[in-house]
Chains A and B, each alone.
Chain A
Amino acid sequence: MKELKMFKHILLYSVIFVFLLFILTPLIEMVFTSFQSMDSVFSIPHPLLPEFHISTYTKEMWEQVPLLPRYFLNSLIISFAVTIISICLASPAGYSISRFKFPGRHLLLLITLSINMFSPVILLVPLYKTMAAFRILNTYWSMILPGAAFTLPFCIWMLAGYFKNIPKDLEEASFIDGCSRAQTLIRIVLPLSAPGLVTAAIYSFIVSWSQQFIFALAFATDKEVMPITRGIYEYFGRNINQWNTIMSSSVIAIVPVIFLFIFLQRYLIQGLTAGATKMQMLKKMKNMRVAIAQIEAKPGNKEHNIDKISKYSQKASKKGARLIIFPELSVAGYPNDFSRKALKILSELVPGPSTDLLLQIAKKHSIDIIAGLAEKEGNKIFDTSLFVRENNVEKYRKTHVHWTEPFSPGNKLEINDTIPGGLGILICFDASFSEPARILTLQGAKTIAVPSAVPESFGKPAQMRMIARALDNQIYLLYSNLCGKGFAGDSMVVGPRGEIIVRAGKSESLLICDLDFAFLASWRKEEKIFPGRRPELYGKLTDVR
């Protein structure tokens, strides 16, 4: 067995060796010849160890064809232009083919690719006539445009294949964050396709470098625009073919291609790893870590309550959460005494002292905080939850006030779309109705936070309501309830399928959960609730009182 393996190896290596010999011999011969004097090029017997005349490179080559540097520059200009054009055009084209389904997609790609089956020579006559009409013969464009046309199909094909491998949910995450298609292509897809783009660019450059010859032969007789592959031709055929300088200029002509290959190959590997880390970064972006603090808030003891809020915010921030949700009236405490007088003492203005403290906490621990207080405005007192970020505060006033509570109702149901997924807030009894949650969702909310003060006696139905809201609207529902004396606890995160992801018990606790918006998007795609709505039948929702 071992011998057979050995034999296979030997056979394989000898085949590779013969193949390489076949390919490399002319190249080696080229390098050798380029260092010889004209006398020794044709000397017989051919010397095994050739002479070494550096003068072909330092002197003769440049004397015989003084425009050589110009040719070299021309080649670079043409190849770079071709590369840029074909990458710029192939990226959107490849993206369309990989992402959009339209009839004849495969056929279109096949026809485009079939261009590569034909030699450019076949098209020289029509191209010549077209270029004459546009007066671009003897310009760079006469070589750039056909060059790009012949490298494009393969680039499109290659990039389409590459884009296809980029997970669609990464793009969906970017759509959720409000990026347009074009922005997503530029910011997400292209950076991730760096290795593919580089490969396509190398291909374009090399093909264009060698294909310039044909186009130059047909369209560019002007030495000012001649590429080096055509320029080498100048060494031929005056009185004698100057083989040594032909070879030295050929070496010069292939150096950039080899150099490019070596240089970009390294980049290729870098691109691959960079792509992988970016993938991870994006994965983090489309997930959002949130925290729910289930606490016992002492009625009227704001100092104690805010202290607690600070403590939990710090803890949550340390665990990597970007948002922490405290229960209803977590700053003020849920009052035992709902008399007008007691409430007036408890309530405060927003912005006010508590708002300032919350802002400080948010800044210190760099975390967004949702916490509740009794908000005074004129004669009215609202049951308000503040959405506190490092440098601004937004408020939501409870819209559906429980019949036992003396608060004035708020009149706004709006979402905050500055955080991934769009965030809506409902307070406790608000979540007993299906409409507010639906309205927030229709505005784009993927997450609804429900700070609550659900009493112990109502624990179970409240939980079921939360599950129902999440399931109905295919959202993440963050239920943060008070615990301790008389309150139910049971805070939880419910997922878009109505599944309970984490749940607290009856005592104070901190829940941490990663919201996965890509999962949410895929669930909505699978279970098509929103496309199936019939709003024209729902008029009674607002007509009937």
Chain B
Amino acid sequence: MSSVWTFNSFDIIWVQTGGGPLSATTTLVIKTYKTAFRQWDFGVSSTLAVITFIILTIVSIVYSRFVLKEDL
């Protein structure tokens, strides 16, 4: 679960490094944001978002198979 959260973490990275220096700390999430609201390229940004979404969905499904099954 925490790996998913870390994957999603945005604010800490954004505030500390803004994805820099030279994209060294740019994660998918940061890249998605930058493409949309710095370069104003909604198309590419959406593509990145979809990729992130797919990755996280796979992780979520695997996760729910293993863990949530016991809860429900």
Contacts and interface: CB of A to CB of B under 8 A. Distances in A.
Contacts of B30: 121
B57 to A, nearest CB: 8
B32 to A, nearest CB: 5
Contacts of A218: 33, 36-37
Interface residues of A, number: 22
Interface residues of B, number: 27
A118 B56 contact: yes
Contact of A117 (B36, B46, B49, B60): B60
Contact of A124 (B32, B57, B60, B64): B32
A250 B66 CA distance: 39
B32 A214 contact: no
Nearest to B14: A217
A114 interface: yes
Given A119-B10, A119-B29, A217-B37, A125 B53 contact: no
Contacts of A117: 4, 8, 56-57, 59-60
B8 A128 contact: no
A122 B4 contact: no
A121 B72 contact: no
B45 A118 contact: no
Interface string B11-34: 100110000000000000110110
Nearest to B7: A119
Nearest to B44: A125
B72 A122 contact: no
Contacts of A118: 8, 52-53, 56
Contacts of B37: 124, 217-218
A252 B64 CA distance: 39
A181 interface: no
A106 interface: yes
Most buried by B among A114, A118, A119, A213: A119
A123 B49 contact: yes
A122 B53 contact: yes
Given A119-B29, A125-B45, A218-B37, A110 B11 contact: no
B72 A106 contact: yes
Most buried by A among B11, B42, B53, B68: B11
B31 to A, nearest CB: 10
B6 to A, nearest CB: 10
A413 B52 CA distance: 70
B39 to A, nearest CB: 12
A210 B68 CA distance: 27
Contacts of B56: 117-118, 122
B53 A124 contact: no
A125 B42 contact: yes
B11 A125 contact: no
A210 B33 contact: no
A125 B52 contact: no
A119 B15 CA distance: 16
Contacts of B45: 124-125
Contacts of A119: 7-10, 29, 52
A31 to B, nearest CB: 18
A129 interface: yes
Nearest to A213: B11
A407 B40 CA distance: 94
Contacts of A233: 15
Interface string A158-201: 00000000000000000000000000000000000000000000
A122 B29 contact: yes
A508 B33 CA distance: 86
Interface of B: 4, 7-11, 14-15, 29-30, 32-33, 36-37, 42, 45-46, 49, 52-53, 56-57, 59-60, 64, 68, 72
